[in-house]
């Protein structure tokens, strides 16, 4: 009974807070927690960019775009590279614009094209025609794309269908596919550990003069480690004092534990982003929900404590990967690392003000914000709240064999990384990376298909004309990424302005199509 009362009280308090948000408190909360991620990875920038030679595809694409604007006049190759970048930038932008016309509703458009059949589409195996991830696949090393593909096949091709066949035994058959008590609970707890080996396909390459010059400047303009440590500790102390005043359920020792583990998680997220361009901040936020929520318990406001902890973690972790993306861009463009850090600090401060203001405007402009079926239902708000409720119930609420699978995959990841580090660089380049394999387990395999196609295009291009592929491959990939990114920004502006696409293109089975035709004919 006490748990029901606590949940009911939580719902009432949450509804009241949504209807009467305090703009000042939201801005203050973000200022307290958003800068931790920046300070947490500053001492590790050399390891990420130079030692591990991580790709950071978006940062690399941005660097190529910037460099294309500053190539020496009269350099024949540079002019051709700029031309190639502009050509594929335009193609990517126009392709995104063309696809937009067919996305008038949920599940519409080329992004839901059943490339391998409708059953494969249900299991997130399809090609979604994303120019961005085709370009990312051209930039990422082959082993990364192979690892992603292996992970996608293992999870959505084998593991999840087998677990679904255990429906009614391992978890109740009547649960929806999105229930955390069902198969979704298994997906949320797929875990991986960090591979620390050098990137196998770059370790044996000689360093060019350009890379030597970049490394020299990157290491010359140092950001003192003591400054990063001092900044992190200072903000952590301020957070432990102020956050419990904002969220009374979030005790100071919860905040202390979060900040002890946050640098490790920020490093893992920055590393994974460097490998695949995916930031898994939401995954680490869910970890905070379950950990702090279970620790606090339902009778001590565990739901709100878990959600507040999630907010703290999801402000720390992504800023770390964003900063490393910027460092990669700065490394390739010979920009000062200090200037990149200061710019990120300024941008983060702007976000701490702009984001709450935008939220405040939405709350005051739409009375039905967050209500299912409304124009802005905010579906993730309900998802995270349900996860917080699940978290306070502890491990007993997990589906059958969920923890066993989690432990098994954790041990398997450690074993694979141990083998990778022990066999040497000659053979390690053929062993998939658990970090990359883990990403499709939750997200699906659609982006893996895109990246694999990009990798295949580059592979064939290198076989046909390797010098030309080496010279123009990065420019082509950058054009694909940047053009699609610019269109995504414009489509978001159109959505906010209320401009909707005119057509919905969906794909049905022959049986469903006959039923729809009968309904339409009346």
Distance separating alpha carbons of residues 419 and 43, to the nearest angstrom: 28
- Residue among 44, 85, 51, 93 at smallest CA distance from 68: 85
The three state secondary structure string of 404-430 is HHHHHHHHHHHHHHHHHHHCCHHHHCC
For residue 273, with 0-12 CB atoms within 10 Å meaning exposed, 13-18 middle and 19 or more buried, which class applies? Answer: buried
* Residue 45 Cα distances to 233, 335, 506, angstroms: 19, 14, 45
Distance separating alpha carbons of residues 373 and 377, to the nearest angstrom: 6
Report the Cα 385 to chain-centroid distance in Å. 20
Helix intervals (H) in 277-393: 281-296, 302-333, 337-365, 379-392
pLDDT value for 204: 43
Distance separating alpha carbons of residues 427 and 434, to the nearest angstrom: 16
User: Token match 């290198």: residue?
Assistant: 462
Q: For the chain, which residues make up each domain, given as ranges? A: 2-83+126-486
Predicted model pTM: 0.74
User: For the chain, which ranges sit under pLDDT 50?
Assistant: 1-19, 73-74, 191-205
Distance separating alpha carbons of residues 69 and 71, to the nearest angstrom: 6
Distance separating alpha carbons of residues 48 and 41, to the nearest angstrom: 9
Distance separating alpha carbons of residues 479 and 457, to the nearest angstrom: 15
Distance separating alpha carbons of residues 216 and 239, to the nearest angstrom: 37
DSSP 48: I
The radius of gyration computed from the CA coordinates of the chain, to the nearest angstrom, equals 24
Residues 6+ apart with CB under 8 A from 108: 102, 501, 503, 504, 505, 506
- Residue among 144, 153, 428 at smallest CA distance from 275: 144
Distance separating alpha carbons of residues 305 and 312, to the nearest angstrom: 11
Distance separating alpha carbons of residues 214 and 331, to the nearest angstrom: 6
- Residue by residue, DSSP assigns 106-125 as TT-SGGG--TT-HHHHHTT-
Give the helix/strand (H/E) hosting 17.
helix 2-19
Span 306-332, pLDDT tens digits: 999 999 999 889 888 889 999 999 998
pLDDT value for 243: 93
Span 144-201, pLDDT tens digits: 899 989 999 998 888 888 888 888 888 887 777 766 677 777 766 564 444 444 444 4
Q: Which residues of 360-386 are buried (b: 16+ CB within 10 A; e: fewer)?
A: eeebeeeeebbeeeeeeeeeeeeebbe
- Residue among 375, 379, 380 at smallest CA distance from 365: 375
């Amino acid at each position: 009974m006490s748990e029901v009362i606590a949940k009911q009280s939580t719902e009432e308090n949450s509804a009241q807070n949504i209807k009467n948000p305090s703009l000042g408190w939201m801005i203050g909360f973000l200022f307290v927690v958003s800068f931790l991620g920046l300070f947490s990875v500053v001492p590790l920038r050399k390891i990420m960019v130079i030692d591990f030679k991580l790709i950071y595809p978006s940062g690399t694409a941005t660097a190529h775009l910037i460099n294309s604007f500053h190539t020496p006049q009269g350099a024949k190759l540079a002019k051709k590279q700029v031309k190639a970048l502009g050509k594929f930038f335009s193609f990517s932008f126009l392709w995104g614009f063309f696809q937009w016309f067919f996305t008038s509703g949920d599940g519409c458009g080329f992004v839901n094209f059943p490339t391998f059949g409708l059953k494969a589409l249900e299991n997130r195996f399809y090609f979604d025609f994303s120019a961005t991830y085709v370009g990312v696949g051209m930039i990422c090393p082959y082993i990364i794309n192979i690892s992603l593909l292996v992970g996608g096949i293992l999870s959505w091709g084998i593991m999840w269908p087998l677990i679904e066949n255990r429906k009614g035994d391992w978890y109740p058959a009547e649960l929806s596919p999105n229930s955390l008590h069902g198969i979704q609970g298994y997906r949320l707890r797929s875990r991986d550990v960090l591979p620390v080996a050098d990137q196998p396909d770059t370790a044996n390459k000689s360093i060019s003069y350009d890379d030597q010059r970049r490394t020299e400047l990157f290491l010359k303009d140092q950001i003192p480690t003591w400054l990063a440590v001092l900044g992190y500790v200072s903000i952590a102390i301020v957070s432990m004092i102020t956050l419990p005043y904002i969220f009374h359920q979030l005790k100071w020792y919860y905040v202390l534990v979060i900040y002890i583990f946050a640098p490790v998680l920020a490093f893992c997220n920055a590393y994974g982003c460097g490998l695949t361009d995916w930031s898994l901040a939401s995954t680490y936020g869910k970890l905070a929900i379950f950990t702090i929520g279970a620790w606090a318990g339902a009778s001590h406001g565990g739901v709100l404590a878990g959600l507040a902890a999630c907010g703290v973690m999801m402000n720390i972790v992504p800023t770390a990967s964003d900063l490393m993306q910027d460092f990669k861009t700065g490394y390739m463009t010979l920009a000062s690392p200090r200037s990149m850090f200061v710019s990120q600090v300024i941008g983060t401060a702007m976000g701490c003000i702009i984001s709450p203001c935008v939220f405040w405007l939405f709350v005051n402009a739409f009375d039905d914000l967050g209500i299912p079926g409304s124009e802005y239902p905010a579906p993730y708000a309900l998802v995270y709240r349900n996860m917080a409720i699940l978290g306070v119930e502890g491990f007993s609420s997990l589906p059958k064999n969920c923890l066993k699978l989690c432990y098994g995959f954790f041990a398997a990841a450690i074993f694979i990384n141990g083998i990778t580090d022990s066999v040497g660089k000659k053979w390690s380049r053929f062993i998939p990376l658990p970090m990359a394999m883990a990403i499709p387990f939750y997200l699906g395999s659609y982006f893996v298909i895109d990246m694999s196609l990009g990798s295949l295009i580059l592979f064939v291009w290198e076989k046909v004309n390797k010098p030309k592929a080496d010279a123009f491959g990065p420019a082509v990939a950058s054009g694909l990424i940047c053009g699609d990114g610019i269109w995504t920004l414009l489509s978001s502006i159109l959505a906010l302005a209320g401009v909707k696409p005119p057509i919905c293109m969906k794909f049905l089975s022959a049986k469903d199509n006959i039923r729809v035709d009968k309904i339409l004919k009346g």
